[in-house]
Structure 1
Amino acid sequence: MLQVNNIVKQYASHRALDDVSLTIEKGKIFGLLGPNGAGKTSLIRIITQITAPDQGEVLFNGKRLNSDHIAQIGYLPEERGLYKKMEIGEQVLYLAKLKGLSTQEATKRIKHWFEKLEMGSWWNKKVEDLSKGMQQKVQFVATVLHEPELIILDEPFSGFDPVNAAIIKDEILELNKKGATFIFSTHHMESVEELCDNIALINRSKKILDGAVDDIKEQYRNNTFWVEYHGVHDLKQVAPAFEVLETDIYKGNSRIKVQLQPDQSANQLLSAILPYVSVSRLEEVIPTMNDIFIEKVKQKN
């Protein structure tokens, strides 16, 4: 759906994006990750045509990005963008009409979403009377109301309690199931693992990692295991060939974290320790997206 080719964006002496290229497939949830100031927001502003790149181009469904594509994109910014004194229903109706919906169709869709997200009594409330999380719900509805092909969410769970965050996650997955493509920018790596098919990590204006979430996690596996056991207290003595990274007590049982060499296997580890202990659990340590994020950013820095 979206092809970002060699984008460069310069602000005075600061280069926000330096030769960044991305491919976002139709029907996928794409995580756009990076620390503060990495360049994520600059890229989003280019895709939404708030600003233009200094070099490079963006293709939307194979065509160079232009003003006709604006109606096919929904954007939920991290900053609140609602008129504080305006009534909620009137405001969402106004935003929907800007996206090309008729008053009748917009009203119908607003009522549907308000009921669905338990906002039925909010129509005549003013934005200033709502909590941060409630305002975010309103902005989410305004973002998806016109049923855009591409939905860009910048920190969409900011201000939500766990219950409402779960509700919005379910709505994102349902919209995706119906064919919507998402760009999802966040610092919450747990949400990335739950929702995203593919990710790109930007740091200091450059793309430093991209690919399918499962493939990246597979790539960063490092042959590390937790072993929970009863028996000999110090397994280092009975299995000196294996590198023990950590030892602790877990629910009353002894536990060690062991990193094996490339030529070592979990079976070899078990063969070495089973004459001395009773193993109750062996679990591979799969790196989380949070672990990978921190490692890659530290390497780059």
Structure 2
Amino acid sequence: MVCEKPLCFTLAEAEALRELALARNRIVGVTYGYAGHQLIEQAREMIAQGELGEIRLVQMQFAHGFHSAPVEAQNAATQWRVDPRLAGPSYVLGDVGTHPLYLSEVMLPELKIKKLLCVRQSFVKSRAPLEDNAYTIMEYEGGAMGTLWSSAVNAGSMHGQKIRVVGAKASLEWWDERPNQLSFEVQGRPAQVLERGMGYLHANALIDDRIGAGHPEGLFDAWANLYYRFALAMDAADRDDQDLLASLRYPDIHAGVEGVRWVERCVSSADQGGVWVDY
């Protein structure tokens, strides 16, 4: 099955769903669609090979401006997002914040959150108790730090989803409004812009290439890449092809559970006045 995120309202529900899926040998894909962009794989490979050095900072945001006013009064697609009965305990944390969170998990699979602090606001007052803006600070095991800005009231911003990873030697940055480029900045050297589809990229960043460099790809292509992986995983599970399953990377039930865990911990921190909580 393929499920929208967040996977469930509570961590207990998400873990119960995971147990059920594993017991019945069912594949669950979660719709973190931006992970299908090819340059996410390039970033992962560069980090894994040490091109950035020791990771120090992860700066993330998904901060658009389309809900700066109470558009839900006329827009049914927004109404459910700000209704706790339908959206659960959060709005932007679950709706947009979990997207760059998952990108960070793909790029930095060894980086684990130790504790976090979150504050959240309802600038459009009718949305309370759900937030339309939130800031989260994360401390990772090993000492690296991360920030994630989740917002629907960043007036003037079209989409505003970015992730920047800072190491001891270099940084990289990806922006979903320009998904075919990846910025790579080595301290003391001119900045580079890596282009999708080019032969200098790592092999894993070229697996999904269809049309070559120079032809722009967008969100539909990213979704297609993920749905293809979902289909391969479902077929492999039916045939008990464990080797193929182990080789596929896609937002699975475990990624869905982690998204719910993050939202739940953020809400817990914010509702206690913005305190550090263990992850």
What band does the TM-score fall into relative to the shorter chain?
Answer: under 0.3
Give the strand-richer structure, 1 or 2.
Answer: 1
Mark the structure with the bigger radius of gyration. 1
Q: TM-score, length-normalised on structure 1?
A: 0.26
Q: TM-score, length-normalised on structure 2?
A: 0.28
Higher relative contact order (CA 8 A, sep 6+): 2
